[in-house]
Amino acid sequence: MQLSECRSLLFVPADAGTFVEKAHQRGADAVILDLEDAVLAQYKAQARRQVAPASRTLAGHGLPVLLRVNADPPAWALDLESADPACLHAVMLPKVESAAQVAALDDALGRLERGLAAPRRVAIAALVESPLGVVRAAEIACASGRLCALGFGAEDYAAAMSIAPEPDNLKWAAQQVTNAARAFGLGCWGLADSIANLADMARFEVSVRQARNLGFTGSVAVHPRQVPVINRGFAPSEEEREWARRVVQAADSGRAEDKGVVMLDGRMIDQPLVQRARRWLGR
């Protein structure tokens, strides 16, 4: 699975050894070792020392590993020094507000890779978490060939806007980010709702479905109980898969009869519809 196709990405504090050991049992498509929000400032140096062994442990279980670094360049430079790039699939850069921030990380990763014995290209996931980041989302999305995904940080965006992190308040901004990501062929991770909701899982499930309908391709998870909900929500339902099978079958039958357009259940089946059906079956 390519990183851009990941449905669920579970955050694990880089210095939480017990969580790291169990992360491969949680069902997430990928794991994000976190050196940013999950680690207090006074413990970051200690957490950096755990990044390389933690990433090797996770990679040994066959999981794609991302590292969320700190936003400040001197801090993320220290974060990268602590990493084992041979075990990293991507670096997640938070609080991105310009293409230049992504380009700087791209250059740093290039220098890091030149020291590797085996060729390796570490991807970048850029987190858009502010009003300025949202209005520059398209510039950010084409800032580097390393980009695999954009992320939308609902909590930070809501704080910057002095609003509650609720769907009605976040929908517009979230869709600016998903549109930019899709325009440049990137994945897009997040929700147009609070990711911190751990109590009301019924609401969380609705939020995941709504995120998919806004164009998100997956979401981060801050707790293992969120992972199965995310996996279900970003996968086609059985009803949708059955619809997709019927659409593809009708289109194939029409092609065999030299028909460019066919009808199914009173609806015209054209190529955009067939493409969507094939993508659902592919997932």
Domain ranges of the chain: 3-235, 239-282
201: Cβ contacts below 8 Å, ≥ 6 apart: 225, 229
Tell me if 36 sits within 8 A of 9, measured CB to CB.
no
Read off the pLDDT of residues 51-86 as tens digits, 9 standing for 90 and up. 999 999 999 999 999 999 999 999 999 999 999 999
Per-residue pLDDT at 7 exceeds 70: yes
Beta strand pairing call for 187-189 and 219-221: unpaired
Give 3-235's CATH code, choosing from 3.40.350.10, 3.40.640.10, 3.20.20.60, 3.40.50.1820: 3.20.20.60
Using CA of residue 175, residue 180, residue 182, residue 183, what is the dihedral sign? positive
**Model confidence at 283: pLDDT above 70:** no
How many CB atoms sit inside 10 A of residue 172's CB? 10
> Rounded distance, CA 199 to CA 164, Å?
17
pLDDT at 262: 75
Alpha helices, DSSP H, located in the chain: 17-22, 44-60, 73-81, 99-113, 131-135, 137-141, 154-161, 167-183, 201-213, 227-233, 238-256, 271-282
Residues 130-138, mean pLDDT to the nearest whole number: 98
Question: Are residues 100 and 58 in contact, defined by beta-carbon separation less than 8 angstroms?
Answer: no
Instruction: Give the pLDDT band of residue 235 (cuts 50, 70, 90).
Output: confident
pLDDT over 90 (residue 5): no
Residue 42 has phi, psi (to 5 degrees) of -70, -15
**Residues 69, 85, 99, CA angle at the centre, nearest 5°?**
50
As a whole number, the mean pLDDT across the chain is 90
Query: What was the pLDDT predicted at 122?
Result: 95
Query: At a CB cut-off of 8 Å and minimum separation 6, what does 187 contact?
Result: 3, 4, 5, 6, 125, 148, 149, 150, 181, 217, 218
CA 235 – CA 245 distance, rounded (Å): 15
